[in-house]
Structure 1
């Protein structure tokens, strides 16, 4: 599994419309073969910060970053941002499913 977490700091004038502006990119990415999840979250502490949590099968990265919708997003998203997004990108070979968080086991 390729696990990616990215932090997007959005310009104030786009905060209220940001999720609408990335909706097509989100839908197209979720439809990709090999996509496990692709979810946006808005920070509860910084109203102009959005986090993207995404995961793909081990061999799905190239198809994602070479897709037409990814290339379109590369053009459309940066003008909405204050700065280049921060990212954590990890490969967990062979992983495709969630584990249980045993420290919070429900009995």
Structure 2
């Protein structure tokens, strides 16, 4: 499984616009093959920071997601709302018995 953290830093006053644009993205992404979980969270330390937390079955499914029209449209819609580029980290994860 892959875990993706995508940090979005909004320009002042633009968080609500990003969240509104993300609603369609989140709904469509959750319906994609290979999507285990896909959520958007607000930072408790900085009102302008949002973090997408994603879980994917494999790299192939994640790569497919990056080419979906709803993902591309979201990127275009929020481009001017961001203070800086998205910061994306990808982690590999395996379940372990404790």
Q: TM-score, normalising length from structure 2?
A: 0.86
Give the length in aligned residue pairs.
97
Question: 1:62 & 1:43 partners in 2: Cα distance?
Answer: 26
Q: TM-score, normalising length from structure 1?
A: 0.79
Question: 2:65 & 2:18 partners in 1: Cα distance?
Answer: 21
Measured after TM superposition, the shift of residue 12 of structure 1 is 1.4
Q: Cα RMSD between the aligned structures? A: 1.8
Question: 1:70 & 1:15 partners in 2: Cα distance?
Answer: 18
Question: 1:88 & 1:62 partners in 2: Cα distance?
Answer: 14
Cross-structure match for 2:13? 13
Is the counterpart of residue 3 in structure 1 residue 16 in structure 2? Answer: no
Measured after TM superposition, the shift of residue 34 of structure 1 is 0.6
Unpaired runs of 5+ residues, structure 1, are: 103-107
Question: 1:57 & 1:63 partners in 2: Cα distance?
Answer: 12
Unpaired runs of 5+ residues, structure 2, are: none
SS at structure 2 position matched to 1:7: strand
SS at structure 1 position matched to 2:14: helix
Cross-structure match for 1:60? 61
